[in-house]
């Protein structure tokens, strides 16, 4: 009974319950199991290399109180955001161009394959050597790592564009802005969503490397610091905090935006 | 004819296409149009009639400015606006925009704020403004396409077999709706069709095209006034038409 009442209480929020209760319970059980295993392993073989969950939690709290955690998280988050925007804008423009013009595509395809296969580390190091240890070089290096993936996805999207909508837009003389907003972007939306999703995950991992190699703040820099003093609790505290932050962004920003963008699809019975 | 219409002016159309060819992927040259010339007068409803695959849609794409690789001239003369509207074979509504947004989006800047409730009323679309195209039947989607075309108050309207792949009763209902809306907002119209009865029902004049490469095989004036075009009158005209174009053989 009390469980039911609890459920009702939860329903007062406006967000629609897209998932049932069972998947949530499964997810919770799965995560709890992971922490239990971690706890058991760290208490059976006590070692500085694997601190128990409670120690990591305490480290997280103390870093939070000192303000360090918040500061470094925000520095990393801003780099992730900046690199994401740069990569999506440039990658989409290039991808759509390659998808629409076959000759352009034939010429630049080898470049694309080359860039897809250059290791992230090489691009980061070269960016720091050529442009100095600056914020621009850091964000640029991350964006350059991501751009080829965006290009490939958006090229597919541009190839799938429906010419009938373009014809309609031409006959009715839609403005360039209207064509972009109402004809082009909605058609590319599934591809933009795919590029975004794989993008965020990739970008934040590369951002940590960029910070480790040439920045004096951010989660990557802190992890490097704790690596040098062999403080695994600190490493895990920063990692888990940032993972949590990315999950919150996914839940509160990415999913609602996607739901809004595909609202016309949901009504299909 | 002086303008009795409150807004816009009907255009007349003069077409003289000398040649239009396609090259297939094997490099074979296909002549689609040759020496195709005709005129459509202001506020006239003309049908381009011809067998399937004779180049009707190609002609329409040239007139709409979607295909510029041809030799010849297309002249649209209009007193006020050069506004063109088209109803395609498929409705071509943006699936991610509602009925109302689809119509409003194509309105020229000067008409952006105009109400088009009367159009929706005539076409039986009132109350459906907030639906998405996927929620409409094909017949309703076609009506929205008609509403969109007329809402722009075009100087000339092109229709490319707008009633194909509908069942006969639905197509008939749409034809009478087209006539109702055309009476309410008269404009120059050119419709492509392969359906002779449809052409006889709707148009002032029928331009019969030859098989490929298409040119004008003959012109049939539909003398019977629209109000008198019942089933019987149409059948009489079908006979007269066939006598005229196929009678000799």
Each residue's pLDDT tens digit, B194-211 = 889 899 999 999 999 888
Question: Does the beta-carbon distance from B94 to A165 stay under 8 Å?
Answer: yes
Name the minimum distance, in Å, from the CA of B92 to any CA of chain A.
Answer: 6
Q: ipTM more than 0.90?
A: no
> Are the CB atoms for B106 and B114 separated by under 8 Å?
no
3-state secondary structure of B221: strand
Residues 172-191 (A) with a CB less than 8 A from some CB of B? 172-174, 178, 182-183, 186, 189
- How far apart, in whole angstroms, are the C-alpha atoms of residue A40 and residue B196? 84
User: Could B66 and A171 be called an inter-chain contact, meaning their C-beta atoms sit closer than 8 Å?
Assistant: yes
Residues in chain A: 269
* Subunit contact A264:B88, Cβ cutoff 8 A: no
**Nearest residue in A to B89, CA atom:** A164
- Residue A170 contacts B where some CB pair is shorter than 8 Å: yes
The reply to whether B122 falls in a domain is no
Residue whose entry in the numeric block shows the structure tokens 């009702």: A8
In a domain, B206, yes or no: yes
- The alpha-carbon gap from A259 to the nearest alpha carbon of chain B, in Å, equals 13
Residue B162: count other Cβ atoms within 10 Å of its Cβ.
25
pLDDT, mean of residues B178-195:
89
Q: What's the total number of domains in chain B?
A: 1
- Residue B80: band (very low, low, confident or very high) from pLDDT cuts 50, 70, 90: low
Cα-based angle B175, B179, B180 (whole degrees, multiple of 5): 115
Q: What's the confidence (pLDDT) of residue B86? A: 92
Residue with tokens 């996607």: A258
Specify which residues B36 forms β-bridges with.
B17
Using the beta-carbon criterion (under 8 Å), do B94 and A182 form an inter-chain contact?
yes
Residue range(s) defining the domain that contains residue B218: 11-76+195-249
Q: Tokens standing for B143?
A: 């009506």
Query: Does residue B100 sit within a domain?
Result: no
- Quote the pLDDT of residue B121: 86
Of all residues in chain B, the percent with pLDDT exceeding 90 is 20
A200 within 8 A of A246, measured Cβ to Cβ: yes
Q: From the CA of B229, how many Å to the nearest CA of chain A?
A: 32
pLDDT of residue B79: 60
| Mean pLDDT taken over chain B | 85
Q: What does the pLDDT read at residue B115?
A: 82
Nearest CA in chain A to B86: A171
| More confident call, B79 vs B97 | B97
Q: Where are the domains of chain A?
A: 2-44, 53-266
Blockwise average pLDDT, block size 10, chain A, 269 residues: 41 48 83 91 86 91 91 93 94 93 93 92 93 92 94 93 92 90 91 86 90 91 93 92 88 82 68
Q: Which residues of B touch A (CB under 8 A)?
A: 64-66, 84-86, 88, 90, 92, 94-97, 101, 105-106, 108, 132, 134-135, 152
**CA pair distance B184, A120, nearest whole angstrom:** 65
Distance (Å, whole) CA B247 – CA B249: 6
Q: Is the pLDDT of residue B3 over 50?
A: no
Domain presence at residue B141: no
Examine residue B237 and state whether it is found in any structural domain, yes or no. yes
Of B101, B135, B152, Cβ closest to residue A172: B152
CA distances to A125, B163, B190 from B63, in Å: 57, 20, 10
CATH of residue B61's domain is 3.40.50.300
Per-residue burial over A148-180, b = 16 or more CB atoms within 10 Å of its CB, e = otherwise: bbbbbbbbebbeebeeebbbbbebbebeeeeee
Determine the topology of domain A53-266 in CATH.
Answer: MetI-like fold (1.10.3720)
| A259 inside 8 A of chain B by CB | no
**Total residue count of chain B as it appears in this document:** 249
Instruction: With respect to residue B55, please indicate whether it lies within any of the assigned structural domains.
Output: yes
Cα–Cα distances (Å) from A146 to A187, A249, B19, in that order, read: 22, 19, 49
Q: Spell out the residues 6+ positions from residue A27 whose beta carbon is closer than 8 angstroms to its own.
A: none
CA distance A38 to A106: 51
Contacts of residue B145, Cβ cutoff 8 Å, sequence gap at least 6: B87, B88, B91, B92, B93, B162
Pair B14, B77: CB distance under 8 Å? yes
Is B54 among the domain residues?
yes
* Mutation for testing the B interface, residue in A102, A167, A171, A267 having most B CBs under 10 Å: A171
Nearest C-alpha in A relative to B134: A268
Q: What is the pLDDT of residues B85-140, one digit of tens each?
A: 999 989 999 999 999 999 999 988 888 888 888 888 888 888 898 999 989 998 89
pLDDT, position A1 = 39
| B171 within domain boundaries | no
Which residues of chain B have a CB within 8 Å of the CB of A168? 86, 88, 92, 106
Task: Please give the Cα distance from A166 to A179 (Å, whole number).
Answer: 8
């Amino acid at each position: 009974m009390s469980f039911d009442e609890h459920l009702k209480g939860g329903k007062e929020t406006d967000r629609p319950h897209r998932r049932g209760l069972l998947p949530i319970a499964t997810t919770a059980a799965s995560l709890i199991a992971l922490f239990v295993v971690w706890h058991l392993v760290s208490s059976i073989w006590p070692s500085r290399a694997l601190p128990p969950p409670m120690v990591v939690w305490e480290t997280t709290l103390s870093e939070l109180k000192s303000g360090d955690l918040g500061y470094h998280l925000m520095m990393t988050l801003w780099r992730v955001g900046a690199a994401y925007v740069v990569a999506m804008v440039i990658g989409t423009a290039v991808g759509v161009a390659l998808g629409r013009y076959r000759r352009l595509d034939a010429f630049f395809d080898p470049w694309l394959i080359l860039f897809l296969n250059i290791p992230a580390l090489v691009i980061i190091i070269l960016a720091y050597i050529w442009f100095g240890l600056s914020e621009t070089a850091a964000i640029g290096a991350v964006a350059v790592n991501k751009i080829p993936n965006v290009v490939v996805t958006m090229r597919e999207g541009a190839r799938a564009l429906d010419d009938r909508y373009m014809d309609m837009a031409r006959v009715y003389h839609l403005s360039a802005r209207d064509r972009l907003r109402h004809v082009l972007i909605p058609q590319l939306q599934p591809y933009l969503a795919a590029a975004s999703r794989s993008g965020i995950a990739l970008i934040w991992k590369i951002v940590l490397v960029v910070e480790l190699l040439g920045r004096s703040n951010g989660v990557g820099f802190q992890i490097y610091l704790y690596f040098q003093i062999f403080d695994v609790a600190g490493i895990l505290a920063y990692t888990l905090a940032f993972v949590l932050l990315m999950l919150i962004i996914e839940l509160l920003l990415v999913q609602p935006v996607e739901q809004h963008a595909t609202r016309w699809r949901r009504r299909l019975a | 004819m002086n303008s009795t219409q409150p807004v816009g002016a009907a255009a007349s159309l003069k077409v003289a296409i000398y040649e239009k060819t396609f090259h297939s992927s094997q490099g074979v040259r296909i002549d689609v149009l040759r020496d195709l010339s005709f005129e459509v007068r202001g506020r006239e409803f003309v049908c381009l009639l011809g067998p399937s695959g004779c180049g009707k849609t190609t002609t329409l794409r040239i007139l709409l400015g979607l295909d510029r690789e041809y030799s010849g001239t297309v002249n649209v003369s209009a007193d006020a606006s050069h506004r063109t509207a088209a109803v395609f074979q498929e409705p071509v509504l943006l699936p991610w925009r509602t009925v109302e947004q689809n119509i409003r989006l194509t309105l020229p800047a000067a008409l952006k704020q105009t109400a088009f409730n009367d159009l929706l009323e005539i076409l039986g679309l009132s109350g459906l403004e907030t639906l998405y195209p996927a929620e409409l039947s094909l017949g309703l989607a076609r009506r929205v396409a008609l509403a969109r075309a007329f809402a722009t108050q075009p100087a000339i309207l092109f229709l490319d077999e707008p009633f194909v792949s509908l069942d006969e009763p639905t197509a008939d209902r749409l034809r009478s709706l087209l006539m109702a809306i055309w009476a309410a907002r008269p404009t120059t119209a050119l419709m492509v069709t392969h359906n002779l009865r449809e052409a006889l029902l709707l148009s002032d004049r029928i331009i019969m095209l030859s098989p490929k490469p298409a040119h004008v095989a003959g012109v049939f004036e539909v003398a019977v006034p629209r109000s008198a075009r019942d089933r019987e009158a149409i059948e009489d005209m079908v006979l007269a038409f066939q006598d005229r174009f196929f009678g000799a053989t």
